[in-house]
Amino acid sequence: MDPRRPPRTVPDPKVRHVGFFAPGADAPPPPDRSNSAPPDPLSSSPPAAAHLTPPGTSISPVMIPPPRHSAAPLSPRRRDSFIVGSYSGKRFLDVGSPTASTASATDDWALPTSADSAWVGDTVGAGASSLPPVGSAAMIAKGLASSVPATAGLTAVSNVHRSAGVSGKPSGAASKVQGDKPKQSKPLKEKTTKAERRALQEAQRAAKAAAKGVGGKASVHMSEVVLASDVESVEVPKAHFQRNDIAAVNEKKVIDRQLEKDRKKDVPQPRMQYDDKSRVEKAKKRAVLKQTEARNRVELFRHLPQYERGTLLPDLQSRFFQLDPVHPAISKVGFQYLSGDISGSNARCIAMLQAIREAIIDYSVPPGKALVRDLTSKIGSYVSFLIECRPLSISMGNAIRYLKNRIAKLPLTLSESEAKATVVADIDRFIHDKIILADKMIVKHAVTKIRDGDVLLTYGSSSVVEMILLHAHELGKQFRVVVVDSRPKLEGQLLLRKLVGKGLSCTYTHINAISYIMHEVSRVFLGASSVLSNGTVYSRVGTACVAMVAHTFHVPVMVCCETYKFHERVQLDSICSNELGDPDVICKVRGRDEINFLDGWTNGNNLQLLNLIYDATPSDYVSMIITDYGMVPPTSVPVIVREYRKEQLWI
Amino acid sequence: MPDVQALVNEFLNKLKKRKIEGSQATAKQTAELLRSVISQQRVPRTNQAGALIDAVRAIGEQLIVANPIELAVGNIVRRVLHIIREEDLSLTTAAVAELNLSTVSDDDDDGGGGDQDDRPVLSAAAVAAAARNTLRPPSLQMLLEGAPDFVAVPRSSSSGGDSEGKSKSMDRNSRTRKLKHDIIEAVNELIQDITTCHELIAEQAVEHIHQNEVILTLGSSKTVLEFLCAAKEKKRSFRVFVAEGAPRYQGHLLAKELVARGLQTTLITDSAVFAMISRVNMVIVGSHAVMANGGVIAPVGMNMVALAAQKHAVPFVVLAGSHKVILVYIGASTCRGPMLCPLYPHNPEVLLNELRSPSELLDFGEFSDCLDFGSGDGSPLLHVVNPTFDYVPPKAVSLFITDTGGHNPSYMYRLIADYYSADDLVVQRRHAAGN
């Protein structure tokens, strides 16, 4: 673990983080973070005990592993799993053979029994904190949002974006959360809100104390209460607030405001709109690559870049030695993106991070410049080069944001080599924790959903779904796989090759036959490029069709996605934001030379070829999302997004 | 009739080898073949209609067996059988009318229904209309008076044998020639209808397509092409999204034709259908066959499109020439309890489908080792599924546009009653049992 993690002691300033929370080690918590552990041992012990006592029974839909240093008193079993989850030693090199490593990992990953209920995650992530009951509380609160009194419902309920009935929130804080946008903090207004809240809490606590009495029994009571009733469970953590003194509140407010600003910066910039002439011109001037615009642009997609692919690569190659601002490792990755040699968001992200890692190793601070600033701008230029090669996927955007954040937070006291080593270690840790380890966790969760005799359908080629299938096969489960594929990439054939090579029984078909084949399917496993915070799954084009047909046939659809790919953006259709591939591959069918009707017609004005890369699957079609934090419904995505971002800022 | 047999065999071969593509071509050729069968068929002095029916039925059976998936064959056989029955019936009615003029007075309301001008005064069509009139008494007066004998008489006569008894007084020679002549005329008319149904459907295009419409279609269908072009000729400007329709990629062909006629066309992959359908105003597709319950057998992938359209509340319009595609399978037979068709497609995706070669999906060179049935234990790890058709349930269809106008899916069973006679459904059942 990273030795320098000083900001951990800084209390989490984000007002709205309630459903999942920081470890008990936190210093005085902000007044409205209802569930952080209070400084007072007396009042803190009941909830903690409550959370430890019911290990397997707590129904928590979302589990977020707590920051690692906070190994509070744990039951031994929990500590086991917890340690494994965050442990990064020997398995770090297992990148190449994920399934083998997963297999080897199985014995020491004490996998808790997962209950049958769809959203019951296992307890791996739940290790250190009093999280599960609150998580469940949040979910229950979502379900019963309408019944939650305004005061009690406030923050826990507001975790859940999509619950319509969350009108019970009293103040601006709630709406702020809903938008997931930082709002200018308004001290005056907040103060009144908090004061109100505190008064309410006081009253509630008094009532509770009267009702329950004090002592050792309290913990049992609490746990029951937590699991049983939403209202009370929300109250439990709140009971601790009034311990905070005013001074702490004020101090916090300052930090709060500052972090509010930070947060605002973090909100994704509006993307480049390519129908904005002036901006496009500006971008062209800056561009390293010269791209020719496609001749027949699809009218609906004028806001997206539509370039001719074929012309770019030779041009780049000829200028390979002139691209001075770009590190060779970066330009290599860029070419690979461009030619499609690396595809799949995990592979692309890892390739990019490793290229940046190499570039950082070779980097030296120019005289007279500050490392932090120069390195950030350097990485910025690398990234814009990569964007020119191929637009970044959302996961890559997240990774870069993480990286820039880390660099910005480098202590100024570090020497250059130390700083570089730190950043490199950060990159390594990101790759390992967020991708490799996350995939293992997903495999672990997902395998529990495969039974003997199942017919599993997958679409395209997702690396994590492949790992799941292979792992289940290694476990000796008897099942059949249907690989559905579509033009133009035909990635399914690659997956098919690998699966058949390992001895799995496979059926291969194309996407048009989906409703023919869906009759025999019992589960659908899909990969995703990203999961957006309204639950929309942004993935390879065609995924939406598969999910829709599966939904119509009442087949459960499980989307496997690492949390680092989650994003707070929302999207309703596949048009507003997408990526367009090379249009020419549409009219040429690989391996079918007789399909040449459109030869010579592509120059006409009337014909447009549209090669969409992604589409957006509405959350209605998704039964569950399997993440490294457990199995969650699509409605819980915003919660994970927020918690994950917090964690990311902290690491 | 050796030459007829040769023709039949040739056609059978073509059907078996799937050389004939498209239900329209199949329908037309079937009708032409049956026409020559009828003209070559020697008819006995008695029961000519019965003999013709038997001959057509025998050949029809072979044809249907040759390609049970090409539903147009069976439909045309039934149509021709129906024509024979009707012509026979009309002659009979005419004969009865000559004997007993009072029956003619019943024939007051629809004497002109669909007959040709060049026919003799006592044309077969006119009398057929009269006969139909007696078959299904439409007038309120009849309903009120409740005359069951009108129904009973043609019922028995349509079964072939009994009708002879009533017309014995007729000059048999002239009747024989007249019957065959009328039947061939009617079959010619059928062939004519099949060839012109595109135009009839296309004529309605302007009623359904407005300015700036965005239309999505999948694969290629001549009817759809004609339909869109007809709207274009009427100076409507609209855009078309064409999904390519794997694994045959007929969409490329359609896109080319549309571009050649100056329509704004965008070719998309099938997987992008869901992404694009939210920006589409209407889905217009062709069909392979229409079921009696209003379901559609269509090129593979259509169900996906229909579901997506349904989810986005986009109208899903099916173009169907009513001659060739109305199929007699489901609704009509289920509502007649005892004739319940054993082929009721509770699973039409599977039962009325045909699997094509895997080579359209996978390169044999790459995957030959996995596809080998001979090696190992005989069950290869890899299966490739490449169906030809999809079944679109009636609830996903917004509208059928046929050459007789637009219809709801729920109305399809009624059209069947117009085109086929109930007796032939039983024939189909024998076929199915025989298979």
Question: Which residue from A438, A625, A636 is spatially nearest to A547, judged by alpha carbons?
Answer: A625
Question: Which residue from A514, A561, A512, A518 is spatially nearest to A538, judged by alpha carbons?
Answer: A561
The predicted structure's pLDDT at residue A77? 45
The predicted structure's pLDDT at residue B277? 93
A105 compared with A367, residue with greater pLDDT:
A367
Q: What is the pLDDT of residues B360-381, one digit of tens each?
A: 888 777 776 666 555 555 567 8
Closest CA of chain B from A50, distance in Å: 46
Confirm or reject contact between B73 and chain A (CB < 8 A): no
Alpha-carbon span B155 to A546, nearest angstrom? 51
Report DSSP state, residue A49: H
Alpha-carbon span A638 to A17, nearest angstrom? 11
A122 compared with A599, residue with greater pLDDT:
A599
Contact B96, B127 (CB under 8 A): no
The predicted structure's pLDDT at residue B330? 41
Q: Do A612 and B253 touch (CB under 8 A)?
A: no
Closest CA of chain A from B218, distance in Å: 10
**Buried b / exposed e across A524-548, counting CB within 10 Å, b at 16+?**
bbbbbbbbbbbbbbbbbbbbbbbbb
Q: Which residues of A touch B393 (CB under 8 A)?
A: none
Most distant CA pair in chain A: distance in Å? 85
Alpha-carbon span B1 to A632, nearest angstrom? 73
Q: Pick left, alpha or beta for residue A521 (phi over 0 → left; psi -120 to 50 → alpha; otherwise beta).
A: beta
Q: Do A548 and B308 touch (CB under 8 A)?
A: yes
Q: What is the pLDDT of residues B303-328, one digit of tens each?
A: 999 999 999 999 999 998 766 555 54
pLDDT category at B11 given cuts 50, 70, 90 is confident
Closest CA of chain B from A456, distance in Å: 14
Asked whether residue B117 carries a pLDDT value surpassing 80, the answer given is no
The single residue listed with the structure tokens 């990992």 is A105
Distance of CA A136 to the CA centre of its chain: 20
* Other CB atoms within 10 A of residue A207 CB: 11
ipTM rounded to 2 decimals: 0.79
- Give CA angle at B78 (B73, B83), nearest 5°: 125
**Buried b / exposed e across A146-171, counting CB within 10 Å, b at 16+?**
eebeebbbbbbbbbbbbbebbebbeb
The predicted structure's pLDDT at residue B97? 78
The single residue listed with the structure tokens 């079918």 is A592
Q: What is the pLDDT of residues B381-391, one digit of tens each?
A: 888 889 988 88
pLDDT category at A120 given cuts 50, 70, 90 is very low
Question: Mean pLDDT lowest for which of A262-266, A643-647, B13-17?
Answer: A262-266
Contact A450, A476 (CB under 8 A): no
Alpha-carbon span A403 to A430, nearest angstrom? 9
Asked whether residue A497 carries a pLDDT value surpassing 80, the answer given is yes
Q: Which residues 426-485 of A have a C-beta within 8 angstroms of B?
A: 485
Confirm or reject contact between B361 and chain A (CB < 8 A): yes
Q: Do B307 and A298 touch (CB under 8 A)?
A: no
Closest CA of chain B from A598, distance in Å: 6
Q: What is the pLDDT of residues A369-384, one digit of tens each?
A: 888 888 888 888 888 8
Alpha-carbon span A365 to A371, nearest angstrom? 6
The single residue listed with the structure tokens 């803190």 is A44
Confirm or reject contact between A320 and chain B (CB < 8 A): no
- The dihedral sign for the CA sequence A55, A56, A59, A61: positive
- A594-597 long-range contacts (CB < 8 A, ≥24 apart) are A595/B249, A595/B252, A597/B249, A597/B252, A597/B253, A597/B255, A597/B256
Alpha-carbon span B251 to B229, nearest angstrom? 15
The predicted structure's pLDDT at residue A441? 93
Strands of A530-532's sheet in order across = A566-567, A530-532, A537-540, A614-617
Confirm or reject contact between B220 and chain A (CB < 8 A): no
- The dihedral sign for the CA sequence A140, A143, A148, A153: positive
- Give CA angle at B355 (A486, B429), nearest 5°: 140
The predicted structure's pLDDT at residue B139? 60
Q: Which residues 528-547 of A have a C-beta within 8 angstroms of B?
A: 540-542, 544-545
Average pLDDT, chain A: 69
* Other CB atoms within 10 A of residue A101 CB: 20
**Buried b / exposed e across B167-183, counting CB within 10 Å, b at 16+?**
beebeeeebbebbbebb
Enter the tokens of residue A100. Answer: 């083998």
Q: Do B387 and A507 touch (CB under 8 A)?
A: no
The predicted structure's pLDDT at residue A455? 95
DSSP string, B387-415: BSEEEE-GGG--EEEETTEEE-GGGHHHH
Contact B286, B201 (CB under 8 A): no
Enter the tokens of residue A315. Answer: 């041009």
Question: Which residue from B70, B24, B73, B20 is spatially nearest to B353, judged by alpha carbons?
Answer: B70
Considering only the beta carbons, identify the residue of A299, A487, A548 that sits closest to B307: A548
The predicted structure's pLDDT at residue A459? 94
Confirm or reject contact between B301 and chain A (CB < 8 A): yes
Q: Which residues contact A176 (CB under 8 A, 6 or more apart)?
A: A15, A16, A182, A183
pLDDT category at A189 given cuts 50, 70, 90 is very low
Q: Which residues of B touch A578 (CB under 8 A)?
A: 275
Beta bridge partners of A539: A615
pLDDT category at A319 given cuts 50, 70, 90 is low
Asked whether residue B411 carries a pLDDT value surpassing 60, the answer given is yes
* Other CB atoms within 10 A of residue A422 CB: 19
* Other CB atoms within 10 A of residue A40 CB: 11
The predicted structure's pLDDT at residue A267? 57
* Other CB atoms within 10 A of residue A188 CB: 7
Collapse the DSSP code of B120 into the 3-class scheme (helix H, G, I; strand E, B; otherwise coil) and give the result.
Answer: coil
Could you tell me where the beta strands, DSSP code E, fall in B142-299?
214-218, 239-243, 264-268, 282-285, 289-290, 296-299
Distance of CA A147 to the CA centre of its chain: 30
Enter the tokens of residue A28. Answer: 């005085």
Confirm or reject contact between B269 and chain A (CB < 8 A): yes
A258 compared with A35, residue with greater pLDDT:
A258
Q: What is the pLDDT of residues A604-626, one digit of tens each?
A: 778 888 889 999 999 999 999 99
Collapse the DSSP code of A477 into the 3-class scheme (helix H, G, I; strand E, B; otherwise coil) and give the result.
Answer: coil
Whether this prediction's pTM lies above 0.80 is answered by no
The amino acid sitting at A272 is M
Alpha-carbon span A622 to A544, nearest angstrom? 10
The predicted structure's pLDDT at residue B22? 73
Residue of chain B with shortest Cα separation from A543:
B271
Alpha-carbon span B202 to B231, nearest angstrom? 8
